[in-house]
Amino acid sequence: MPLSTRRAFVSSNGPRPTTTAMASALPRCTSVRLPAAVATVTVLLLMSVTTVQSSQGDKEPVYRDCVKQCVRTNCTGARLRGFQSAQPRYMALTGELLLLAGWTCRDDCRYQCMWTTVGLYQAEGYRVPQFHGKWPFARFLCFEEPASALASLLNGLACLLMLLRYRSMVPRQSPMYHTINAFSLKMDYFCATAVLLYSIYLCCVRTLGLRRPGVSSMVGVLLILLFTSHVSYLTFVRFDYGYNMAANASIGMVNLLWWLCWCWQNRRTLPYWWKCGLVVLLLHGLALLELLDFPPMLWVLDAHAVWHLSTIPVHFLFYSFLIDDSLYLLNTEKMGVKVE
C-alpha cells in the first residue's frame, strides 16, 4: 500500500501522548540542544534564530494528518491539563533555567508521529526522511540529541581545562594573552562562522597586529561587518543552508591558508610550529565529517556527533601551541627582539 494512502489509518489511530504511553517511551524533554543553549548568547545570535525549513518527513501527509489528529485529541481541555501536570519536574526546571518552554503537548505529538512515519517508511523499504530540518533522534532526559550533547559537553570541558592550564602557565603580560582568552570564549559549535572569523582575527594579530596594531584593528572591524552581514542575510533575507555552508567553507579556507603560510615561514625559527600546522589541518579535515549526512546510528549517533567527538583531542594540541607561542612572545619582548 503506498505511503500516502495510509493517511486515514494513521489519523484515526494517531498516538495519544498520555502519561502511560509516554512512560513506555523515552522521557519527555525540551526540544533544544542543552549545551548549545547554555553557550555564549549574544544579541546577534538570538536574532539569527529562524524557522527551520520543512523536510521530506514533515511534508508527508501521513505525518501531518497524524499530528493534527493527535493535537486535536490530546492537547486541549482536560487532556492538556493532564499532560502538563504529568510533565516531569526536571523538564519544567530545564525550561525555567533556559528561559524556554518545556516539551509541549504538540512537541510530543510530533515526536510520536515522527516515529510512526519512520516506521512506515522502513516497512516499505524507503530511506528514513528528515523532519523539520533534522534526522529523527531518540530523546533522552533533557537532551533531544544525546550524543551531540555529550560530545559538546566534553568539548567544553576540554576547552575549559586547557584554558585554565594556559592561564596558569602564561603571565598576563604576554602580548597575546587577552586575545587568546577572548577566543576561548567562542570555542563552541553554536556559531561556527564566528569562531572561524575570530580565528582569522587571531592569526592577523599574531602575524601583523603585534607590529602594526592599526592593521589588526581595521581587519577586526571588517570581520565584524562581514559577520553582521552574514547573519542579517540568513535572518532577514533567506535562510539558505547551501549559502551558509559555502560561506563557512570559504572563510575556513582563508583561515587555513593564512595559518599554514605563517607556519611555513616560521618552521626554522619556532620549534613548535608543527603543532599549529597539524591543528589547522586536523580541524579542517575533520570538518568533512559534517558532509557525511546519514541517519543517526541507533537513533543517537550522527555525523555531527562524530565530528564533535573527534575534535576533543585537538584542543589539547591547540592549547599546547598557544602556551608555547605566548611564552615565546613574552620572552622575546623582554629581550627586545623583533617578533616575526
- Per-residue cell: 313: 583531542
Question: What would the DSSP string read from start to end of 210-246?
Answer: TT-HHHHHHHHHHHHHHHHHHHHIIIII---HHHHHH
Does 28 have pLDDT greater than 50? no
* Rounded distance between C-alpha atoms, residue 318 and residue 199, angstroms: 12
pLDDT (0 to 100) of residue 268: 92
Among 339, 338, 312, 309, which residue's Cα sits nearest to residue 326?
339
Is 11 a residue whose pLDDT tops 50?
Answer: no
For the segment 329-335, the average pLDDT, to the nearest whole number, is 84
CA distance 17 to 22: 6
Burial 41-64 (b: 16+ CB within 10 A, else e): eeebeeebeeeeeeeebbebebbb
Question: Which residues, at least 6 apart from 324, have a Cβ–Cβ distance to it below 8 Å?
Answer: 272, 275
Any idea where the domains of the chain sit in the sequence? Answer: 56-124, 142-335
Most confident of 47-61, 185-199, 297-311, 314-328: 314-328
More confident residue, 203 or 8: 203
Instruction: Kindly report, residue by residue over 35-84, the tens digit of the pLDDT.
Output: 333 333 333 333 433 344 557 778 888 888 898 888 888 888 887 777 77
Q: Count other Cβ atoms within 10 Å, centred on residue 27.
A: 15
User: Any idea which residue has 587555513 for its cell?
Assistant: 256
